[in-house]
Amino acid sequence: MESLVIRGGQPLRGDVRIGGAKNAALPVLISALLTDQDLLVANVPHLRDITTALELLGRLGARIEVDEKSVIRVNAGKLISRRAPYELVKTMRASILVLGPLLARFGQAEVSLPGGCAIGSRPVDLHIRALEQMGATITVEEGYIKASTSRHRLQGAKIVFDTVTVTGTENLMMAATLAEGATVLENAAREPEVVDLANCLAAMGARIEGAGTDVIEIEGVANLTGAAHRVIPDRIEAGTFMVAAAVTQGEMRLHDVNPGHLDAVIVRLRDAGAQISVSQSELSLKMPERPDAVSISTAPYPGFPTDMQAQFMLLNCVSEGTASITEHIFENRFMHVHELQRMGADITLHGNTALVRGVDQLGGAQVMATDLRASACLVLAGLVAREQTVIGRIYHIDRGYDCIEEKLLQCGADIRRVSDSRSPRVHAVQ
């Protein structure tokens, strides 16, 4: 296993290129299951979750090629399996996205339930209920969701999601493209990644209206064709680098971004004192002094993204003043709090709200990444901490950040990756 070793204190200055969005690339690659022709996907980030998705497509029998420009060609002309196995689904919940396309095209699909996750707790119940409304028969047997259609095709339906669900909206949008008749998705997710998938599906011949609003209408067609699609920039990677520049009181220019997808983050960083300028595909941020604390409350897009909550928690840990962080999307998404406290942060938890009082300095510590965005927050903490920080279990960060240490090094950070047998021991906590 590997760790990241960081010595904090340097203001980050430099240019960073933002990669393609993981959460858009995953459904876009999986949408290749809807056609027997080639889907060409550009701007796919080099991430562990993408490798998992490609491995899953390969197990189903899809042919995958990568050209010299890193464009990924997926061909699902001759599939050999309709089953997403446990060992892949447990490492990536987004594997559930194969359910809708397989069911729509072949009338049959099996997807393992993610490990330790019964339907009803961190569930996929909304995906299942909506597919049942489209005529699918679904059972859960031996830890697998087994879905089939008795009729030749899924049937269009009016679906009202109880909760806004991003992958639920994507799964149903894909299923509906090949259904018989019209499907209306109400209370649909409005995330840019949903819009990106809709654009890809439209290029494949799907008839979709309303993506980006909370009502999406899909008129089913008999077949989809091949297409070429370029994935949108990763707004969460961009947001994470913006916070990195802000907390180190540095200055960074981000290239290949879509500032329009970052409105909620930009507003809060300006409130914190950052000077931000944007153009069509670039964004510059300069933080001239210690940031001011800013309260946030997560919400579905266009609200403040839950995937930026941990990074803003860290921002507040080192800011002037006190702020509250309220998490509305996921329970138990405060696992980074205990690690930040070990570095000297002053945080009090009250249910789904954290009260953060800014401290003058964090100290280095040996900490553990617990999930993808929590690990990004620990990297940011390491960049501002006084002593050396050693972050273990960094496979979490490799799920979602492409070359994070190279990009930070380029901006002057003192960061390196070591294998655990060589990782230094750190005792200082404050």
DSSP symbols for 299-346: -STTSB-GGGHHHHHHHHHTSBSEEEEE--S-TT--THHHHHHHTT-E
Residue 151 CB, shortest distance to ligand UD1, in Å, is: 24
Dmax (CA) of the chain: 65
User: Which CB, 12 or 329, lies closer to ligand UD1?
Assistant: 329
User: Which CB, 330 or 395, lies closer to ligand UD1?
Assistant: 330
**Measured CA distances, 213 to 210, 231, 252, 329, 375 (Å):** 5, 20, 32, 19, 32
Tell me which residue of 265, 271, 326 sits closest to 298, measured CA to CA: 326
Here's the x/- map for ligand UD1, 122-161, by CB under 6 A: it reads as xxxxxx----------------------------------
Here's the x/- map for ligand UD1, 77-96, by CB under 6 A: it reads as ----------------xx--
Is residue 163 within the footprint of ligand UD1 (CB under 6 A)?
yes
Distance CA 81, CA 156 (A): 25
Is residue 168 within the footprint of ligand UD1 (CB under 6 A)?
yes
The structure tokens listed for 88 are: 């892949």
Region of 55-63, 64-72, 164-172, 374-382 interacting with ligand UD1 (CB under 6 A): 164-172
Region of 118-126, 144-152, 318-326, 341-349 interacting with ligand UD1 (CB under 6 A): 118-126
Q: In 3-state terms, what secondary structure has residue 110? A: strand
Here's the x/- map for ligand UD1, 330-359, by CB under 6 A: it reads as x-----------------------------
Residue 333 CB, shortest distance to ligand UD1, in Å, is: 8
Distance CA 269, CA 260 (A): 15
Tell me which residue of 111, 128, 124, 104 sits closest to 137, measured CA to CA: 128
The reply to whether 117 belongs to the active site is yes
* Contact residue for ligand UD1 among 165, 309, 370, 389 (CB under 6 A): 165
Is residue 302 within the footprint of ligand UD1 (CB under 6 A)?
no
Contact 298, 327 (CB under 8 A): yes
Q: Which uninterrupted H or E stretch holds 277?
A: strand 275-278
Question: What are the counts of helices (DSSP H) followed by strands (DSSP E) for the chain?
Answer: 14, 24
User: Which CB, 5 or 174, lies closer to ligand UD1?
Assistant: 174
User: Which CB, 164 or 208, lies closer to ligand UD1?
Assistant: 164
Residues of this chain that bind ligand UD1 (CB under 6 A)? 23, 26, 93-94, 122-127, 163, 165-168, 193, 306-307, 329-330
Q: Which sequence positions are flagged as catalytic?
A: 117
